[in-house]
Amino acid sequence: MSPSSWDVIVIGAGAAGLMCAAVAGSRGRRVLVLDHNDEPGRKILISGGGRCNFTNREVTPERFVSANPRFTTSALKRFGPTDFLDMMKRHRIAWHEREHGQLFCDDSAAQIVRMLQDECGAGGVGMRLSCRVGTISGDGPFRVETSHGPFDTAALVVATGGLSVPKVGASGFGHALARRYGLGVTELAPALVPLTFAEPDGAMMRDLAGIAVDAAVSFGKTRFREAVLFTHRGLSGPAILQISSYWRSGAAIAINLLPDLEALAWLVERKAARPNAMVETIVAELLPARLARARTEAAGLLGKPIGQTPNAALKTLAAGLNAWAPIPMGSEGYRTAEATRGGVDTADLSSKTMAAKAHPGLYFIGEAVDVTGWLGGFNFQWAWSSGWVAGQSL
Ligand SMILES: Cc1cc2nc3c(=O)[nH]c(=O)nc-3n(C[C@H](O)[C@H](O)[C@H](O)COP(=O)(O)OP(=O)(O)OC[C@H]3O[C@@H](n4cnc5c(N)ncnc54)[C@H](O)[C@@H]3O)c2cc1C
């Protein structure tokens, strides 16, 4: 079969790949998108509970985890949240803002996929779905062997995403290809993911499953103040998902269950005010009763009147309230992770174009790159921004 020839082939019809293809197509490039899934934008469709948290009001490089968060500056400046909102406006997609500046579709994530498909259609972009991509050779031009036959292309864009949720098509294709072309790939780990715990913490968390509290969760200097949810597997909720992107295996996270209160001073004050009350009853003034009981038990003070509890023991309890430091055993893994930490080393890419410095025709965009956004629409914004700048450069 003689290969058909293209200006640009984009591997991956996800958020970044569709944006890039649409932009390159609108600039007159002959673009072909390949994806092994049978429909484009599967992750967009399942995102944000079906409403796609497509960006955030507060997009800054600090909201990205990367060996070099500054790498994102140029792309985010050139195509930021308002640029994406302009595109949505042209397609008459209604949206609303939720807490922490998160923007969601009013109706459905499917509108975003349709918008990107329409933009691709306007640019004459070709699309091959259910297409397995095999060997890639050359260095501009590239030869791409696929289950739909071979294709030749002047430029190749890798937009195959991260490793999270293999069920919807995630694969390590982009990382493997980067390594083959001599680019670095930083250490990969599930991100935005619930954390799991060994016994006895695990058993205690299971007993508390369903309880959610407003807490501050830290790892090193990074701190998130949001809900923590106890589950049958450990801890989840936005604060835990956020900190999971920073957590390193073997280390403890710090949880402040009473972030607005200095617990020791408060316990000492309650000791004077209600000396006959049981310690767990006092703690339950501020925390759900089952959680109050569990933290009191962990301090060895269950069933003890607070008036007869030495302040040294209250100090231990206070530490377990203001600075509880459980050590996660691991995470729920790529099966449930919303993102992947790590990816193609940004040191090997141009931040202006997303092309590999050593291979000017080879581009990496979206989550395949070592750029992981916080929870709240940042990962999609990175996909739009990196896809747009690559599309402009092709
Ligand atoms: C459940 C869930 C909810 C999420 N919700 C949000 C949210 O609300 N807001 C937010 O900002 N982020 C969210 N994310 C993260 C966001 O979906 C991703 O960061 C984003 O989709 C990354 O875009 P991408 O184009 O790089 O990769 P993807 O969108 O994952 O696209 C990659 C594409 O490449 C294809 N592909 C992979 N391997 C191959 C291969 N070997 N051959 C051919 N094709 C291949 C895949 O089929 C896929 O179509 C969520 C993630 C999950 C899992």
For residues 32 and 163, state if they share a domain. Answer: yes
Kindly give the distance from the C-alpha atom of residue 19 to the centroid of ligand 1, in angstroms, as a whole number.
13
pLDDT beyond 80 at 346: yes
How far, in Å, CA of 143 to CA of 9, rounded? Answer: 10
- Can you list the positions of beta strands (E) in 93-179? 95-97, 102-105, 126-128, 133-138, 142-146, 151-158
Q: Are residues 46 and 169 in the same domain?
A: yes
Look up residue 195 and give its two tokens. Answer: 């954390």
Ligand 1 lined by 25 (C-beta under 6 Å): no
**How open is the CA angle 363-84-15, to the nearest 5 degrees?**
45
Report which of 58, 56, 57, 76 is spatially closest to residue 66, judged by C-alpha positions: 76
31-34 vs 126-128, strand pairing mode: parallel
Bridge partners for 126 per DSSP: 32
pTM beyond 0.95, yes or no: yes
Closest CA to 32 of 61, 69, 4: 4
Whether 234 lines ligand 1, by a CB cut-off of 6 Å, is no
Q: Do the bridges between strand 222-230 and strand 142-146 make them parallel or antiparallel, or are there none, so unpaired?
A: unpaired
pLDDT at residue 165 in the model: 94
Q: Do 278 and 243 fall within a single domain?
A: no
Task: From the CA of 55, give the closest atom in ligand 1.
Answer: 11
**β-bridge partners, 228:** 213
Domain containing 297 equals 270-319
Q: What is the mean predicted confidence (pLDDT) over 97-119? A: 98
CA dihedral 261, 265, 271, 274 (to 10 degrees): -40
Q: How far apart are CA 159 and CA 143, in angstroms?
A: 17
SS3 for 345? coil
- Answer whether residue 265 is part of any domain: no
* Residue 264 counted as domain residue: no
Q: Is 165 in the pocket of ligand 1 (CB under 6 A)?
A: yes
**Whole-number pLDDT of residue 1:** 53
CA dihedral (263, 269, 270, 275) positive or negative = positive
Report if residue 229 sits inside a domain. Answer: yes
Residue 72 and residue 219 in one domain? no
% pLDDT > 70, the chain: 99
User: Domains in the chain: how many in total?
Assistant: 3
Most informative mutation of 65, 120, 379 for ligand 1 (most atoms within 8 A of CB): 379
Question: Do both 176 and 37 map to the same domain?
Answer: yes
Q: Are residues 85 and 164 in the same domain?
A: yes
Cα angle 157-163-169, degrees, rounded to a multiple of 5: 75
Ramachandran angles phi, psi of 20, nearest 5°? -60, -45
Asked whether 377 lines ligand 1 (CB < 6 A), one says yes
CATH code where residue 39 lies? 3.50.50.60
Residue 278, CB-side half-sphere exposure with 13 Å CA sphere: 13
Residue with tokens 């997609």: 93
Is 254 within a domain?
yes
> Within this chain, do residues 93 and 175 fall inside the same structural domain, yes or no?
yes
Task: Render pLDDT for 41-51 as a digit per residue (tens, 0 to 9).
Answer: 999 999 999 99
Residues with Cβ within 8 Å of residue 251, at least 6 apart in sequence: 219, 327
**Residue 201 shares a structural domain with residue 278:** no
What distance in Å separates the CA atoms of residue 113 and residue 360, rounded to the nearest whole number? 29
Instruction: Please indicate whether residue 46, judged by its CB atom, sits closer than 6 Å to ligand 1.
Output: yes
The mean pLDDT value for 29-56 works out to 97
Query: What is the predicted pLDDT for the residue at 332?
Result: 97
User: Is 263 contained in some domain?
Assistant: no
In this prediction, residue 364 has a pLDDT band, given cuts at 50, 70 and 90, of: very high
- Residues 42, 161 share a domain: yes
The reply to whether 359 and 242 lie within a common domain is no
Say whether both 213 and 160 belong to one domain.
no
- Ligand 1 pocket, residue 343 CB under 6 Å: no
367 CB near ligand 1 (under 6 Å): yes
pLDDT tens digits for range 83-107:
999 999 999 999 999 999 999 999 9
What's the pLDDT at 2?
A: 59
Q: Are residues 276 and 307 in the same domain?
A: yes
Dist CA 272 CA 307 (whole Å): 7
Q: What is the mean pLDDT of residues 221-239?
A: 98
Pocket test for ligand 1, best of 175, 338, 363, 365 (most atoms within 8 A of CB): 338
Q: Tell whether 285 is covered by a domain.
A: yes
β-bridge partners, 355: 363
Would you say residue 90 lies in a domain?
Answer: yes
| pLDDT at position 272 over 80 | yes
On whether the CB atoms of residues 304 and 278 are closer than 8 A, the answer is yes
Token duo for residue 99: 């807490």
Domain harbouring 281, CATH code: 1.10.8.260
Instruction: Kindly provide the residue ranges of all beta strands, DSSP E only, lying in 112-221, ordered along the sequence.
Output: 126-128, 133-138, 142-146, 151-158, 189-191, 195-196, 212-219
pLDDT digit string, tens, across residues 171-189: 999 999 999 999 999 999 9
For residue 238, give the CATH number of its domain. Answer: 2.40.30.10
72, amino acid identity:
T
